[in-house]
Structure 1
Amino acid sequence: MDQILTMRVFARVVEAGSFTRAADSLALPKATVTKQIQHLEARLRVKLLNRTTRRVTVTADGAAYYERTARLLADLDELEASMGNAQTNPQGRLRVDVGSSVASLLIIPALSTFFARYPDIQLDMGVSDRPVDLIGDNVDCVIRGGELTDQSLVARRIGNLPFVTVASPDYLRRFGTPQHPHDLEGGEHRMVNFFSPRTGRMFPNEFEKGDETVSLDGQHRIAVNDSNAYMAAALAGLGVTQLVTFMAAPHLETGALVQLLPEWTTKPVPIYVVYPPNRHLSAKVRSFVDWAAELFARHAHLQ
C-alpha cells in the first residue's frame, strides 16, 4: 500500500467531510477510498474518523494525525515543486471557481494568453455566483467580489468593481426617466433586484452624491441571484438595474442600455483572489493568481 497516497486520501476525506466527495475530487472509486482508510486505521491501531450516514467527522487522534499529515504533504509538494522545471514551467490540474459574469466576460476571453504562457496547466473552472467551500470542494482558488466574511482565508485584492445605474430605452419609453433615486421607490418605476445566492437576502440599491446617501429596495417584478441573468433582465427592459461597469459598458456604447442618474454613484466592491491558508501556494496556483492580477490591472473598468 502506498503510504503517501493513503495520507493524501485521509487528508482529502477530512477536508471534504465525505468519502464520496473525497473520492470524486481524487478521481478514485469510493470503495478504494474506504479501503485505504480502513487499512490506515488498522495499521495505526486507532480510530481516525467517525462515520454517519450524512457526515464524516474526525476523532481527536484523527485530528492530530491530520495536522502532522497536512504539514508533511505540503512539504513534499513544495520539495517537488522546487525540483526540475516546475517553477519555470508550472504544470498539472488547477481547480478554480469564478463568478458568472467575471468568467464569461473577463477570464474566459483572455484564457488563450494564459495557456500560451502556461501550456502544461489543465484548468478546471467552476462558474457560479454561489460561494464554494474551498477546502471541502478541493478548490485551489476563487475569484469573488465583495468584502471577505471568512477571515481564515488568504486573499489578494486585484481590483474594484464600480457600478452604473442603467435601464433599456424601451423601459424608459414606457416609464420615463427617473430624476432622483427616490423616484425609484414608488409610482410606475421598477427595479431589477439581486439577492444573495447563499442567504437569499435582497441586496439594497445604494446611491451616493457628496454627503447624501440613499439606500432603497425599490419595487421589483423580478429579482435574481446570478450576475448574467441580472444583465439579461436589464437588457430585456424589466427594470432599472445597478450593473457592474465592465458588464454595462459594451451595451452603453451600442445604446442597448442608457445610464441613469450619472451624478449619483455607488461605492465600488473590491474583488479578490482567495485561497485556503493551509494549502501550499504551488507554482501553478501562483501562476494563475499573478496572471489574473495582471489581467485586472490592465482593465479600465476594474480599477
Structure 2
Amino acid sequence: MDQLTAMRAFLRVVETGNFVRASESLRIPRATLTNLIQNLEAHLQTKLFNRTTRRVIVTTDGALYYERAAKIVAELEELDSSLLHLQANPTGRMRVEMSGAFSDWIVIPALCEFYKSYPDIRIDLGVGDRTVDYLLENVDCALRAGTPGDPSLIARRVCEIKMITCAAKPYIDRFGMPSHPEDLRTDHNCVSYFSPQSGQLFPFSFQRGKETLEIEARSHFSVNDARSYVTAALAGHGIAQLPRFMANEEIRKGALVPLLEDWEPETLPLFIVYPPNRHLSNKVRVFVDWLVKLLAELDQS
C-alpha cells in the first residue's frame, strides 16, 4: 500500500464530505478511492468512516487521524517545495490569525490580487483578538496590533497605525464638540475599548508637540472588537479613537466628524508574529511579503 497516497485520499474525503466529490477532485475512479481507504483502515486496524447510503461520517479515530495526517502532509509539501526551489510558485495550506478589523478592511478585499500571483496557496484565516496557542493550533503567522505580550514569539514590526478622535454627527449635534482632551473626563460620553485578553480599558491618548496626555474618559459603553467599536461610534454612543483606515470613508461621507485635530492620538504599532522554532516556509514568506507591501500602501491620510 502507498500510505502517503492513501493518506491524501483520506484527507480529501474528509474535506469534501463524500467519496464522489473526493474522487472527482483527485481525478481517480471512485472504486480506486474506496480501495485506498479500505487498505488504510486495514493497515491502521480501525474504521475511519461510518458510511450510510447518504452520508460519510468521520469516526473518533478518523478525526484524530485527520488532525495528525493533515499536519504531516502539509510538512511534506513544504519540504518538497523548499528542496525543489519552488519559491516562484509556492503551494500548500497555511493558517493565519488576525483581528476582524484587519481582515475586513485590509486583507480580504485585496486577497484576489494575492491569488493572481499565488493560486496554489490555501489560506485558513482565523478572525478575532483571542489568545492563540500558535503551536497547538498550527498557526503559521498572525497580524497583531500592539506589542506582543508573549516574549517567545518572533515579532516583526511592519508599520504604525494612525488613530483619529471622532464622533458621529448626531452626537456632535446633541452634545457639541470638545475643546480640550480634558473635556472627555466629565463633559462628554465616550466609547471605550477593553483588551480581549486582560479586560483592561485602554485610556484615550493625546499628543501635541512635547505635551502628552492620557485620559480616563467618561464612558457608559465599552467593546473589545474593532468592528463593534466603529459601529458604536457611528450609532452615536460617544467619542471614539479609531484607526484612520477604518474611519476615513465614514469621515468622507460625513457620518463621522474629526475632533481635537490639534491633538494627535498615539499611534498603534502593528506586528507580524510567528511561533518560535517554526520554519518559515515559502508560502508563508510570500504571504508576509505581500502583506507588508499591502500595509505600506494603506490609506492613513
- TM-score using structure 2 length: 0.74
Provide, for residues 108-141 of structure 1, a one-character-per-residue CA deviation record: whole Å limited to 9, x for no partner: 0000011111000111101112232211221111
Is the CA contact 2:81–2:91 (under 8 Å) kept in the aligned structure 1?
Answer: no
SS across alignment from 1:300? coil
Amino acid at match of 2:195: S
**How much has 1:150 moved relative to structure 2?**
1.4
Alignment of 1:82-101 (within 5 A): 82-84=82-84, 86-101=86-101
Counterpart for residue 141 of structure 1: 141
Mapped partners of 1:75, 1:239: distance in 2: 49
1:30 to 1:155, Cα distance in 2 relative to 1, 3 A:
farther
Alignment of 1:174-193 (within 5 A): 174-187=174-187, 189-193=188-192
Mapped partners of 1:280, 1:29: distance in 2: 32
Counterpart for residue 117 of structure 1: 117
1:195 to 1:35, Cα distance in 2 relative to 1, 3 A:
closer
**How much has 1:85 moved relative to structure 2?**
5.8
Counterpart for residue 81 of structure 2: 81
Amino acid at match of 2:257: V
SS across alignment from 2:238? coil
Alignment of 1:141-290 (within 5 A): 141-187=141-187, 189-290=188-289
1:220 to 1:35, Cα distance in 2 relative to 1, 3 A:
closer
1:100 to 1:79, Cα distance in 2 relative to 1, 3 A:
closer
- TM-score using structure 1 length: 0.74
**How much has 1:277 moved relative to structure 2?**
2.1
Mapped partners of 1:35, 1:243: distance in 2: 45
Amino acid at match of 1:272: F
Is the CA contact 1:74–1:279 (under 8 Å) kept in the aligned structure 2?
Answer: no
Mapped partners of 1:181, 1:75: distance in 2: 53
1:290 to 1:263, Cα distance in 2 relative to 1, 3 A:
same
Mapped partners of 1:30, 1:201: distance in 2: 40
1:169 to 1:35, Cα distance in 2 relative to 1, 3 A:
closer
Is the CA contact 2:74–2:93 (under 8 Å) kept in the aligned structure 1?
Answer: no
1:268 to 1:74, Cα distance in 2 relative to 1, 3 A:
same
Mapped partners of 1:295, 1:263: distance in 2: 29
2:30 pairs with 1:31: no
Mapped partners of 2:240, 2:151: distance in 1: 31
Please tell me whether Structure 1 or Structure 2 has the larger radius of gyration of its CA atoms: 2
Amino acid at match of 2:239: V
Mapped partners of 1:174, 1:271: distance in 2: 35
1:202 to 1:233, Cα distance in 2 relative to 1, 3 A:
same
SS across alignment from 1:80? helix
Is the CA contact 1:193–1:220 (under 8 Å) kept in the aligned structure 2?
Answer: yes
* Unpaired segments ≥5 residues, structure 1: 4-27, 37-72
Corresponding pairs, count = 245
Is the CA contact 1:129–1:227 (under 8 Å) kept in the aligned structure 2?
Answer: no
SS across alignment from 2:133? coil
Provide, for residues 49-91 of structure 1, a one-character-per-residue CA deviation record: whole Å limited to 9, x for no partner: xxxxxxxxxxxxxxxxxxxxxxxx9997764222336322111
Mapped partners of 1:35, 1:229: distance in 2: 38
1:77 to 1:247, Cα distance in 2 relative to 1, 3 A:
same
1:120 to 1:178, Cα distance in 2 relative to 1, 3 A:
same
SS across alignment from 1:290? helix
Is the CA contact 2:169–2:255 (under 8 Å) kept in the aligned structure 1?
Answer: yes
SS across alignment from 2:166? strand
Mapped partners of 2:164, 2:239: distance in 1: 11
Mapped partners of 2:156, 2:173: distance in 1: 44
Mapped partners of 2:166, 2:257: distance in 1: 5
* Unpaired segments ≥5 residues, structure 2: 5-57, 67-72
Is the CA contact 2:145–2:270 (under 8 Å) kept in the aligned structure 1?
Answer: yes
Amino acid at match of 1:210: G
Mapped partners of 1:34, 1:108: distance in 2: 31
Provide, for residues 152-205 of structure 1, a one-character-per-residue CA deviation record: whole Å limited to 9, x for no partner: 111222211110000111001111110001111113x10000000011111111
Amino acid at match of 2:177: T
Is the CA contact 1:192–1:233 (under 8 Å) kept in the aligned structure 2?
Answer: yes
Is the CA contact 2:250–2:256 (under 8 Å) kept in the aligned structure 1?
Answer: yes
Mapped partners of 2:91, 2:159: distance in 1: 27
Give identity over the alignment, percent.
44
